[in-house]
C-alpha cells in the first residue's frame, strides 16, 4: 500500500512545514552554487556566472512557491478532499452511518463510563491525597475475618513500633446533629487522628489542620475542620469563618480550618462534611469512652508506607508487632492481628460493597463493546459489498489501489472519530450516574461515588473500535484490487442460499453477536430472579405492619438517666395510642447502618481453641421486642419488664449460637459470659437476618436494655398505620416529651430491608440496560446481514419466482437462513453462558447459575428478536418483481 505511506508522510508534512522550508531553501541554494561553479569553471566571471545560473534556474521564488504547493498544500488539499468525500459518502447513506456511529458510541461510551467508575472508586479513590500509591487500608483480623477495627491503645502501639511506616491515621465515620443558630441538621464526618491532614498532604485552604496535642486528652479539644461544601452551603463562603463555633452533639466546637474543594475525606461512597480529632471520641460515640480500652475494636484507618517499602515488608513488621501485643495483652489481644489491604479491599467503606457489582458491569460492557465492534464490522462489510461495483469502476478508470484504500481509510477514521467523541460525551454524562443508584442510607449522609474519566481506558476502548473499523473499512479496497475487472463489472452476483468466504465471515460475526447477547440476557435473567428471591425471602422477622424510627437522644445531649426516663415515658405514650399493637426499643434496629455491640464471650462447658477468643455480636432490646418485630422464641421466654438492674442478668441467644456453644444440650439456664459478666440464657430465638439477607447464619444474642442501659433509641412499632400517619402521631408524642427532639427516618421495616439490597438492584439495572443494548445491537446486525443477502440474491429470488415459487416459499427460504444463524448463536451462547454464570456466585441468591427459567427466557427473547430482524428482509423478498429482477 504505497499510498498509505505517502498519506502519513503528508499528514506529517503538515506539521513539518517550517523545517521543510529551510531544507528547500538550502537545497535550491546548493543547486545554484553548483551551477555557478560550473560556469566559473567554463571561464565566466563570478558575477556573470551568478546571473547565468539564476536565469537558467528560473524564478527562485516562484519555484519555491510551486514546490511548497507540492510539499504541503497539495497534500493537505488531498486529505481535505478525502475528508469531504468521506463525509459525503457517510451522509449519502445516513441510516448506515447513524447505526454505525450509534453502535460505536454505545460501545465506547459505556466502557469508558464503567472504567471511569472502577478507576474513580477502586483504584484512585482519593485524587487529592499526595501519596495515594503508598496508602494502604488497615484492618484488624481474628480467625481470618478482616472486617473488624483496632483498639485505640493497640493503634498507638503500632504507631510507635512500626519503623517502616510513615504514618498511621485513624478515620472513623461519625454522624452528628449539627446546630447552627436555631437550625439543626444531621451531618456525617470523620473522627480522625491529629496527623490526618499532614499524612494526606492536605493543606486546608483556610486556617489549619490539627496539632499533635489536639489528638490527646479526653474531650479536651473541641475543634473541627469543615469541608469546602459545608463552608459554601452553610456559611455562604464566609471568609472570616476561622474561629467561629458550631455545636456538634450539643458540644461547642471551634472551626479551625476549611478543607480544599472536592476533598470529601477518605471514605469511599460518602462525602464527609467535617473532621474532629480522636480526642473527641466520647462526644461522638453513644457507646462510651474507648480511647483507653484495649478490648474495644472500633478504629478504622490507613497507613502510609515509607518510600521504597513494599507492602509485604510493612506487613511482616506489623505482624511481628501484633505477635508481641498478643503475648503482652493476652486477655484482649489473643488471636488478633492486623492486616494491610489495598485501598479497594477495605471492608469498612463503600468500595467493598460495590466491588462485585463493578466486576459484573465490567464484564458486561466488554461484551457490549465486542458486540458493537462485530456489528460495525458487519455493517461495513455489507456496505463494502454494495460498493464493490463503485470500487471496480474507479479502479477501471485509473484510480490507484492505494488511493482507494486511503479513501476508505479516511471514511473509517471519520466514523470512529465521531463515535469516540460521542463515547467521551456518554462517559462524561455517566461518570456520576452511580450515585443515582444508591439510596441515602440515613439522613445527613451524602452519597459520593465519583468516576474519574480515565484517558488511558478511553484510548483503549476507542483504539479497539478504531482498529476494527479501519480493518473492515479497508477490506473492500483490498478485495477490489484482487477483482478481475471485466468479470466484476459485468455482474455482481450472490445467492440467498449459498455462502462462501466473505459471507462466512459475516455469518461468524452474527453468530458472535447472538451468542454474546444470549450470555448477557441469561445473566440479566439470573440477577433478576435473585433480586426477586431476595425481595421475597423473609429476613426472619416481620416486615409488614412494622414501622421503625430512630430517635437521636445522644446528640440532643441526653445522659443515661434522662434517656431512661424518656424511653419509659415514650413507650407508655405510644402503647396507649389507638392503632398500635405493640412497641419496643432496640439500640440498633435490624438492617440499619449502625454497628451492633460486639464482645468476647465464654460459655459453660465450651472449650475454645487455645489461640482463639470467641466473640459475638449482640443487641440491647426492651421487653416485648420479639413479639413486636416478629421473631419467634423457640424455647424459653422473651424479656420482661422485670429483667431490670435488680434482677439476675439474662440473655436470649439465637439458634446458631445455641448449637455452637451448647451442642446437643438444652441451652436454657446455661451460663454465658459476656466480657466479664456472667448471664443466664433464658430463651432461644429463631435465626434471622441482622444486616443483610445475604449474610451466613452467625451466632448472635440479645440482652435486656434495663440491664445494659444505652442512650440512643431505635423504635419498633407494630401497627396498621401508614408510615406517614405514624410519623405525625409519633412526632406529636415526642414533642410533648421534649420539643427539641424529632424522630428521624420513620419508615416501614420493608423499606429498611430494601435499602440493603441496593447492590443487587444496581447489578440488575446495569445488566438490564446493557443486555437491552446488546439485544438491540444484535438485532441490527442480523437485520443488516439478512437485508444484504436478500438484496444480493434478488436475481436468484426472481428466478425462483419465475419458476413458480410462491411468496410463502421465499419467506421460508430467507427466514430459514437467518434462523440457522440464530440457532447457531444460541447454542454457542448457551455454552459460554453456562461456564460464565458460575462466576456470578456472590450476587446470586438461591438461584442456580444454570437456572432454566433465566436461560429459557433469554432463548425466547432472542428468538423473537431474530425472527423480527429476519422477517422484514424476507417480506421484502416476496415483493420482488421477478421480471425486473431477472432483467437487472
Backbone angles phi, psi at 681, to 5 degrees: -80, 125
- Check: CB of residue 408 under 8 Å from CB of residue 476: yes
Binding status of residue 13 toward other proteins by CB under 8 A = yes
The one segment of 67-75, 119-127, 369-377, 423-431 that binds other proteins by CB under 8 A: 67-75
Name the DSSP letter for residue 123: I
When the beta carbons of 14 and 853 are compared against other proteins, the nearer one is: 14
Binding status of residue 172 toward other proteins by CB under 8 A = no
Binding status of residue 28 toward other proteins by CB under 8 A = yes
- Can you tell me the distance from the alpha carbon of 53 to that of 33, in angstroms, rounded to the nearest whole number? 8
For residue 6, the minimal CB distance to other proteins (Å) is 4
Contact with other proteins (CB under 8 A) among 14, 19, 46, 55? 55
Binding status of residue 466 toward other proteins by CB under 8 A = no
Binding status of residue 30 toward other proteins by CB under 8 A = yes
Binding status of residue 17 toward other proteins by CB under 8 A = no
Contact with other proteins (CB under 8 A) among 40, 67, 393, 413? 67
The one segment of 2-10, 414-422, 469-477, 518-526 that binds other proteins by CB under 8 A: 2-10
Backbone angles phi, psi at 622, to 5 degrees: -90, 175
Binding status of residue 641 toward other proteins by CB under 8 A = no
Binding status of residue 632 toward other proteins by CB under 8 A = no
How many CB atoms sit inside 10 A of residue 553's CB? 21
Binding status of residue 58 toward other proteins by CB under 8 A = yes
- Can you tell me the distance from the alpha carbon of 301 to that of 156, in angstroms, rounded to the nearest whole number? 12
Buried b (16+ CB within 10 A) or exposed e, 480-513: bbebeeeebeeeeebebeeeeebbeebbebbbbb
For residue 51, the minimal CB distance to other proteins (Å) is 12
For residue 485, the minimal CB distance to other proteins (Å) is 16
Binding status of residue 19 toward other proteins by CB under 8 A = no
Binding status of residue 35 toward other proteins by CB under 8 A = yes
Task: Tell me whether residue 833 is exposed, middle or buried, using C-beta atoms within 10 angstroms of its C-beta: 0 to 12, 13 to 18, 19 or more.
Answer: buried
Binding status of residue 401 toward other proteins by CB under 8 A = no
When the beta carbons of 54 and 483 are compared against other proteins, the nearer one is: 54
Binding status of residue 393 toward other proteins by CB under 8 A = no
When the beta carbons of 9 and 81 are compared against other proteins, the nearer one is: 9
- Can you tell me the distance from the alpha carbon of 485 to that of 359, in angstroms, rounded to the nearest whole number? 52
For residue 49, the minimal CB distance to other proteins (Å) is 14
How many CB atoms sit inside 10 A of residue 16's CB? 14
When the beta carbons of 77 and 695 are compared against other proteins, the nearer one is: 77
Q: How far is CA 660 from the centre of its chain?
A: 38
Nearest partner of 196 among 222, 221, 214, 177, judged by Cα: 214
CA dihedral 46, 47, 50, 56 (to 10 degrees): -120
Binding status of residue 26 toward other proteins by CB under 8 A = yes
Nearest partner of 507 among 828, 781, 811, judged by Cα: 781
- Can you tell me the distance from the alpha carbon of 128 to that of 151, in angstroms, rounded to the nearest whole number? 28
For residue 31, the minimal CB distance to other proteins (Å) is 5
Q: How far is CA 881 from the centre of its chain?
A: 54
When the beta carbons of 72 and 861 are compared against other proteins, the nearer one is: 72
For residue 403, the minimal CB distance to other proteins (Å) is 10
- Check: CB of residue 190 under 8 Å from CB of residue 445: no
Binding status of residue 24 toward other proteins by CB under 8 A = yes
When the beta carbons of 2 and 342 are compared against other proteins, the nearer one is: 2
Provide CB contacts within 8 A for 51, sequence distance 6+.
none
Contact with other proteins (CB under 8 A) among 17, 48, 69, 487? 69
For residue 796, the minimal CB distance to other proteins (Å) is 39
Q: Give the footprint of other proteins on residues 492-521 (CB under 8 A).
A: none
Binding status of residue 567 toward other proteins by CB under 8 A = no
Binding status of residue 77 toward other proteins by CB under 8 A = no
Provide CB contacts within 8 A for 260, sequence distance 6+.
128, 202, 203, 204, 205, 228
How many CB atoms sit inside 10 A of residue 200's CB? 26
Backbone angles phi, psi at 597, to 5 degrees: -70, 155
Contact with other proteins (CB under 8 A) among 14, 33, 185, 842? 33
Give the three-class secondary structure for 240. coil
Binding status of residue 74 toward other proteins by CB under 8 A = yes
Binding status of residue 450 toward other proteins by CB under 8 A = no
When the beta carbons of 65 and 133 are compared against other proteins, the nearer one is: 65
Binding status of residue 34 toward other proteins by CB under 8 A = yes
For residue 53, the minimal CB distance to other proteins (Å) is 9
Binding status of residue 3 toward other proteins by CB under 8 A = yes
Binding status of residue 76 toward other proteins by CB under 8 A = no
Binding status of residue 537 toward other proteins by CB under 8 A = no
Contact with other proteins (CB under 8 A) among 19, 45, 48, 70? 70
- Can you tell me the distance from the alpha carbon of 790 to that of 808, in angstroms, rounded to the nearest whole number? 15
CA dihedral 398, 402, 405, 407 (to 10 degrees): -70
DSSP 297-332: EEE-EEEEEPTT--HHHHHHHHHHHHHHHHHH-HHH
Give the three-class secondary structure for 742. coil
- Can you tell me the distance from the alpha carbon of 447 to that of 744, in angstroms, rounded to the nearest whole number? 18
Q: How many residues does the chain have?
A: 888
The 3-class secondary structure across 546-602, one letter per residue, is EEEEEECCCCCCCCHHHHHHHHHHHHHHHHCCCCEEEEEEECCCCCCCCCCEEEEEE
What is the pairing mode between strands 650-654 and 677-685? parallel
Nearest partner of 674 among 703, 641, 637, 712, judged by Cα: 703
Binding status of residue 60 toward other proteins by CB under 8 A = yes
Binding status of residue 23 toward other proteins by CB under 8 A = yes
Binding status of residue 10 toward other proteins by CB under 8 A = yes
For residue 396, the minimal CB distance to other proteins (Å) is 15
Binding status of residue 481 toward other proteins by CB under 8 A = no
- Check: CB of residue 134 under 8 Å from CB of residue 311: no
Nearest partner of 397 among 489, 482, 318, 473, judged by Cα: 489
Binding status of residue 79 toward other proteins by CB under 8 A = no
Binding status of residue 581 toward other proteins by CB under 8 A = no
When the beta carbons of 19 and 848 are compared against other proteins, the nearer one is: 19
The one segment of 51-59, 261-269, 533-541, 839-847 that binds other proteins by CB under 8 A: 51-59
Contact with other proteins (CB under 8 A) among 15, 62, 327, 669? 62
Binding status of residue 48 toward other proteins by CB under 8 A = no
For residue 85, the minimal CB distance to other proteins (Å) is 19
The one segment of 66-74, 295-303, 304-312, 614-622 that binds other proteins by CB under 8 A: 66-74
What is the pairing mode between strands 713-719 and 580-586? antiparallel
CA triple 23-26-30, angle to 5 deg: 140
# of chain residues touching other proteins (CB under 8 A): 34
Binding status of residue 31 toward other proteins by CB under 8 A = yes
The one segment of 58-66, 185-193, 251-259, 289-297 that binds other proteins by CB under 8 A: 58-66
Binding status of residue 59 toward other proteins by CB under 8 A = yes
Contact with other proteins (CB under 8 A) among 14, 17, 46, 56? 56
The one segment of 24-32, 336-344, 369-377, 805-813 that binds other proteins by CB under 8 A: 24-32
Rg of the chain, C-alpha, whole Å = 37
Residues that bind other proteins (CB under 8 A): 2-3, 5-6, 9-10, 13, 23-24, 26-28, 30-31, 33-35, 37, 55-60, 62-64, 66-67, 69-71, 74-75
Amino acid at each position: 500500500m504505497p499510498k498509505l505511506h505517502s498519506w502519513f508522510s503528508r499528514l506529517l508534512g503538515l506539521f513539518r512545514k517550517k523545517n521543510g522550508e529551510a531544507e528547500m531553501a538550502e537545497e535550491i541554494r546548493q543547486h545554484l552554487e553548483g551551477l555557478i561553479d560550473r560556469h566559473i569553471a567554463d571561464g565566466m566571471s563570478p558575477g556573470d556566472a551568478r546571473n547565468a545560473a539564476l536565469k537558467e534556474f528560473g524564478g527562485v521564488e516562484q519555484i519555491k512557491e510551486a514546490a511548497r504547493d507540492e510539499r504541503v498544500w497539495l497534500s493537505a488539499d488531498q486529505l481535505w478532499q478525502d475528508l469531504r468525500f468521506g463525509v459525503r459518502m457517510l451522509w449519502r447513506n445516513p441510516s448506515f452511518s447513524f447505526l454505525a456511529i450509534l453502535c460505536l458510541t454505545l460501545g465506547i461510551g459505556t466502557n469508558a463510563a464503567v472504567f471511569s467508575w472502577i478507576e474513580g472508586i477502586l483504584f484512585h479513590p482519593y485524587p487529592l491525597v499526595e501519596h495515594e500509591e503508598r496508602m494502604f487500608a488497615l484492618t484488624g483480623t481474628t480467625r481470618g475475618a478482616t472486617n473488624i477495627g483496632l483498639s485505640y491503645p493497640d493503634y498507638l502501639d503500632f504507631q510507635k513500633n512500626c519503623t517502616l511506616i510513615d504514618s498511621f491515621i485513624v478515620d472513623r465515620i461519625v454522624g452528628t446533629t449539627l446546630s447552627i443558630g436555631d437550625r439543626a441538621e444531621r451531618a456525617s464526618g470523620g473522627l480522625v487522628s491529629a496527623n490526618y491532614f499532614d499524612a494526606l498532604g492536605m493543606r486546608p485552604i483556610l486556617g489549619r489542620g490539627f496539632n499533635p496535642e489536639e489528638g490527646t486528652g479526653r474531650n479536651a479539644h473541641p475543634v473541627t475542620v469543615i469541608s469546602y461544601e459545608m463552608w459554601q452551603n452553610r456559611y455562604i463562603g464566609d471568609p472570616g469563618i476561622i474561629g467561629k463555633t458550631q455545636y456538634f452533639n450539643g458540644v461547642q466546637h471551634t472551626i479551625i480550618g476549611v478543607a480544599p474543594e472536592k476533598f470529601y475525606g477518605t471514605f469511599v461512597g460518602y462525602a464527609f462534611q467535617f473532621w474532629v480529632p480522636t480526642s473527641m471520641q466520647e462526644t461522638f460515640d453513644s457507646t462510651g469512652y474507648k480511647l483507653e480500652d484495649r478490648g474495644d475494636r472500633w478504629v478504622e484507618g490507613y497507613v502510609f508506607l515509607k518510600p521504597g517499602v513494599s507492602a509485604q515488608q510493612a506487613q511482616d513488621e506489623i505482624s511481628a508487632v501484633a505477635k508481641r501485643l498478643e503475648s503482652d495483652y493476652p486477655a484482649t489481644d489473643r488471636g488478633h492481628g492486623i492486616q494491610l489491604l489495598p485501598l479497594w479491599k477495605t471492608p469498612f467503606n463503600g468500595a467493598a460493597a460495590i466491588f462485585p457489582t463493578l466486576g459484573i458491569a465490567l464484564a458486561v460492557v466488554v461484551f457490549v463493546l465486542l458486540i458493537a465492534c462485530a456489528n460495525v464490522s458487519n455493517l461495513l462489510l455489507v456496505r463494502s459489498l454494495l460498493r464493490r461495483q463503485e470500487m471496480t469502476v474507479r479502479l477501471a478508470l485509473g484510480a490507484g489501489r492505494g488511493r482507494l484504500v486511503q479513501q476508505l481509510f479516511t471514511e473509517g477514521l471519520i466514523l470512529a472519530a465521531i463515535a469516540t467523541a460521542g463515547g467521551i460525551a456518554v462517559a462524561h454524562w455517566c461518570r456520576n450516574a452511580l450515585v443515582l443508584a444508591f439510596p441515602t442510607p440515613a439522613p445527613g449522609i451524602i452519597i459520593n461515588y465519583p468516576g474519574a474519566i480515565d484517558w488511558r481506558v478511553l484510548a483503549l476502548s476507542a483504539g479497539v473500535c478504531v482498529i476494527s473499523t479501519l480493518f473492515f473499512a479497508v477490506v473492500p479496497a483490498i478485495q477490489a484490487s484482487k477483482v478481475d475487472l471485466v468479470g466484476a463489472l459485468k455482474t455482481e452476483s450472490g445467492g440467498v442460499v449459498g455462502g462462501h468466504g466473505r459471507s462466512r465471515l459475516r455469518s461468524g460475526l452474527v453468530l458472535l453477536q447472538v451468542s454474546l447477547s444470549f450470555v448477557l440476557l441469561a445473566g440479566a435473567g439470573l440477577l433478576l430472579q435473585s433480586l426477586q428471591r431476595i425481595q421475597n425471602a423473609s429476613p426472619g422477622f416481620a416486615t409488614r405492619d412494622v414501622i421503625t424510627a430512630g430517635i437521636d437522644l445522644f446528640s440532643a445531649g441526653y445522659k443515661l438517666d434522662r434517656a431512661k426516663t424518656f424511653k419509659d415515658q415514650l413507650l407508655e405514650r405510644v402503647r396507649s395510642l389507638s392503632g398500635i399493637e405493640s412497641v419496643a426499643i432496640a439500640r440498633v434496629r435490624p438492617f440499619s447502618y449502625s454497628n451492633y455491640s460486639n464482645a468476647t464471650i465464654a460459655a459453660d462447658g465450651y472449650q475454645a481453641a487455645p489461640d482463639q477468643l470467641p466473640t459475638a455480636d449482640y443487641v440491647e432490646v426492651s421487653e416485648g421486642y420479639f413479639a413486636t418485630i416478629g421473631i419467634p422464641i423457640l424455647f424459653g421466654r422473651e424479656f420482661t419488664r422485670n429483667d431490670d438492674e435488680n434482677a439476675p442478668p439474662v440473655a436470649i441467644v439465637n439458634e446458631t449460637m445455641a448449637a455452637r456453644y451448647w451442642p446437643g444440650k438444652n441451652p436454657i439456664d446455661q451460663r454465658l459470659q459476656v466480657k466479664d459478666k456472667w448471664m443466664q440464657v433464658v430463651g432461644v430465638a429463631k435465626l434471622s437476618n441482622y444486616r443483610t439477607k445475604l449474610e451466613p447464619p452467625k451466632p448472635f444474642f440479645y440482652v435486656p436494655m434495663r440491664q445494659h442501659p444505652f442512650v440512643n433509641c431505635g423504635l419498633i412499632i407494630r401497627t396498621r398505620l401508614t408510615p406517614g400517619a405514624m410519623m405525625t402521631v409519633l412526632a406529636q408524642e415526642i414533642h410533648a416529651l421534649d420539643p427539641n427532639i424529632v424522630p428521624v427516618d420513620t419508615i416501614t421495616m420493608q423499606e429498611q430491608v430494601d435499602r440493603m439490597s441496593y447492590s443487587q438492584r444496581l447489578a440488575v439495572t446495569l445488566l438490564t440496560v446493557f443486555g437491552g443494548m446488546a439485544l438491540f445491537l444484535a438485532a441490527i446486525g442480523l437485520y443488516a446481514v439478512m437485508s444484504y443477502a436478500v438484496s444480493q440474491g434478488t436475481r436468484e429470488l426472481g428466478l425462483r419466482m419465475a419458476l413458480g415459487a410462491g411468496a410463502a416459499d421465499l419467506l421460508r427460504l430467507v427466514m430459514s437462513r437467518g434462523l440457522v444463524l440464530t440457532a447457531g448463536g444460541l447454542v454457542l451462547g448457551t455454552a459460554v453462558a453456562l461456564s460464565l454464570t458460575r462466576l456470578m456466585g456472590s450476587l446470586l441468591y438461591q438461584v442456580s447459575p444454570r437456572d432454566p427459567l433465566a436461560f429459557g427466557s433469554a432463548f425466547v427473547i432472542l428468538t423473537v428478536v431474530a425472527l423480527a430482524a429476519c422477517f422484514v428482509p424476507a417480506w421484502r423478498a416476496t415483493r420482488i418483481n421477478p421480471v425486473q429482477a431477472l432483467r437487472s
